[in-house]
Chains A and B, each alone.
Chain A
Amino acid sequence: MKILVPIKRVVDYNVKVRIKADGSGVEKANVKMSMNPFDEIAVEEAVRLKEQGKATEIVVITIGPAVAQDVIRTAMAIGADRGILVQTDSPTDLGGVEPLGVAKTLKEIIAKESPALVIMGKQSIDDDSNQTGQMLAAMMNWPQATFASKLEIMSDRAAQVTREIDGGLETIKIGLPAIVTTDLRLNEPRYASLPNIMKAKQKPMETVTPDSLGVDLSPRLLLVAVADPPARKGGIKVESVDALIDKLKNEAKVIG
């Protein structure tokens, strides 16, 4: 079974983001970029399935500028076999390529690659939309298993997925092909070893353009403004539990 893993290059999760001086978006010049953490979990899950003999090939795909190749190499160092870069210079976080456009692009890639399973992050940590997997499933008319914390491949035609929902966990059975989106507890991605990082450099990578795939990535949403969230002022330190309870009762009046 072939697995397709869509991945995204985003501002590293440890970076404190800053709004650009001209207010047009978030500063990305000289900022550390990495693979979206949820996508790393997706790559890891696919690699584990291959190690268990349940997957035969792992193809990763990303949409972004030429430098987005680095996240494809990272995925290859974890164990992906092959990479596709859909090259565009539009922003991929805000006011550029949107989940709808990404889903349309992935639909075209699926038409070429015919994967039995797509595993992808539930959301990217830049625009935080949590939409692409669901939209892609809709466009393909495939089942979706979002926010997965456990994935079991039952056969070439079925999988059982445990999902993180608001009240706890839900387990569903889906026919394949299908879309699975990852939540944080699905696995803990490995660190790539140096030999594997070296080997990744030799793995095949193909570059295509949105035009060559026949997809229109022009945004439906106009980015009007970006702003800092309203600041919350720090308060005071109290010296003891008694002082804290007194403040909560008599000053904040939030407990009886």
Chain B
Amino acid sequence: MSILVIAEQAAGQIKSSTLHCVTAAQKLGSDVTLLVAGSSISATTQEAAKISGVTKVVAIDSPSLSHQLPEVLAPALVALAPSYSHILAPATAFGKNLLPRVAGLLDVQPLSDVIEILSPTQFKRPVYAGNVIATFESKDKIKLLTIRTTAFDAAPMGGSAATESGDVSSLGNGISAEFVSEELTKSERPELASAKIVVSGGRGVGSAENFALIEKLADKLGSAVGASRAAVDAGYAPNDYQVGQTGKVVAPELYIAVGISGAIQHLAGMKDSKVIVAINKDSEAPIFQVADYGLVADLFEAVPEMTEKV
């Protein structure tokens, strides 16, 4: 068993999603290689080598990888693939964009959002917005998996893996795709996917201006801010706040759902949280069926009060 994990990194930092993937890889075997691909990544590679459980780091460093476009990166993974039994990537926008492209080139049927590894060939994953858990056995020679990060703990730091340079000659070129710009939500708050506390607002919040109530409570708690699809669609919050089956899946210690009714789609993104609090004026809202603590109240009174007292 020889496992390749594709690291997610940006701006010189290994993203925490990578650490969860390394833990998933260790369920498959002890020979875990981490691929760090990007432009000017020597510092990132050194950091990656400290992740406990990684035996080797392969760094593919090229200016053409500055934005890690899948058109460029996927062919390099195809070149690496024959040495491995499994290739893992986090089930994030980065991993979901890249790994199926690799699979298409390799003629492999990948498994998305794996939440449990039963054996080197059997995996559990949620389907139907998390309402059904399916167990699949893969018959492909090489298994390609994206890993739901909330289902596996983060690997600790403290390792010292060997590093080597990967082959840049297999990187893709000639497919017309180029980065133009990015607009990243600037925030001092913890990252939504890995925060210990998340405060989320839904349609009940009513407007983008009112969303400040959610943010104030989040800042008082030092937490991340999330939103339901309804709130994002209505323009109350940016798209990257969305928690749900088609948005981000979170599992913090504490999830506070404010003015969120609890559509199936949303529940799929947060029901693995350790403690769930729901604040909603509708006592019949489905969110209360999953909440450990429910408060039937007008959020415009309860949230400022909580912000003041917490």
User: Which residues of chain A have a CB within 8 Å of any CB of chain B?
Assistant: 11, 13, 16-17, 19, 26, 93-94, 98-100, 103, 122-123, 125-139, 141-147, 149, 158, 160, 163-175, 178, 183-185, 219-229, 232, 234-242, 244-245, 247-248, 252, 254-255
What residues on B are CB-neighbors of A129 within 8 Å?
100, 110, 112
Those 3 A-B pairs whose CB atoms lie nearest each other, nearest first:
A175-B176, A138-B104, A135-B104
- Residue pair A223, B295 in contact (C-beta under 8 Å): no
What residues on A are CB-neighbors of B291 within 8 Å?
234-235
- Residue pair A252, B275 in contact (C-beta under 8 Å): yes
Closest B residue by C-beta to A125: B129
A132 CA to B232 CA, complexed, in Å = 26
From B70, B94, B290, A134 is in contact (CB under 8 Å) with B70
Number of interface residues of B (CB under 8 A): 90
Contact A100 B107, CB 8 Å, known A167-B184, A168-B182, A254-B275: yes
Closest A residue by C-beta to B121: A222
Is B190 in the interface zone, CB < 8 Å from A? no
Given contacts A220-B139, A223-B136, 9 further A-B contacts (CB under 8 A): A128-B126, A139-B105, A168-B240, A172-B180, A184-B229, A220-B108, A228-B133, A229-B271, A236-B292
Closest A residue by C-beta to B240: A168
Is B43 in the interface zone, CB < 8 Å from A? no
Is B297 in the interface zone, CB < 8 Å from A? yes
A228 CA to B130 CA, complexed, in Å = 9
A208 CA to B257 CA, complexed, in Å = 48
B residues 107-122 near A (Cβ < 8 Å) are: 107-113, 122
- Residue pair B132, A17 in contact (C-beta under 8 Å): yes
What residues on A are CB-neighbors of B179 within 8 Å?
170-172
A248 CA to B182 CA, complexed, in Å = 38
- Residue pair B292, A168 in contact (C-beta under 8 Å): no
Is B97 in the interface zone, CB < 8 Å from A? yes
Closest B residue by C-beta to A136: B104
Residues 184-201 of chain B, each 1 if its beta carbon lies under 8 Å from chain A, else 0 = 110000000100010000
What residues on A are CB-neighbors of B126 within 8 Å?
128, 229
- Residue pair A184, B233 in contact (C-beta under 8 Å): yes
A158 CA to B177 CA, complexed, in Å = 10
- Residue pair B290, A234 in contact (C-beta under 8 Å): yes
Minimum CB–CB distance for A5 against chain B, Å: 19
From A128, A172, A245, B129 is in contact (CB under 8 Å) with A128
Closest B residue by C-beta to A227: B133
- Residue pair B277, A245 in contact (C-beta under 8 Å): no
Is B138 in the interface zone, CB < 8 Å from A? yes
Closest B residue by C-beta to A160: B180
Minimum CB–CB distance for A91 against chain B, Å: 12
Closest B residue by C-beta to A158: B176
A237 CA to B289 CA, complexed, in Å = 10
- Residue pair B295, A237 in contact (C-beta under 8 Å): yes
From A149, A229, A247, B239 is in contact (CB under 8 Å) with A149
- Residue pair A141, B136 in contact (C-beta under 8 Å): no
A113 CA to B130 CA, complexed, in Å = 36
- Residue pair B140, A241 in contact (C-beta under 8 Å): no
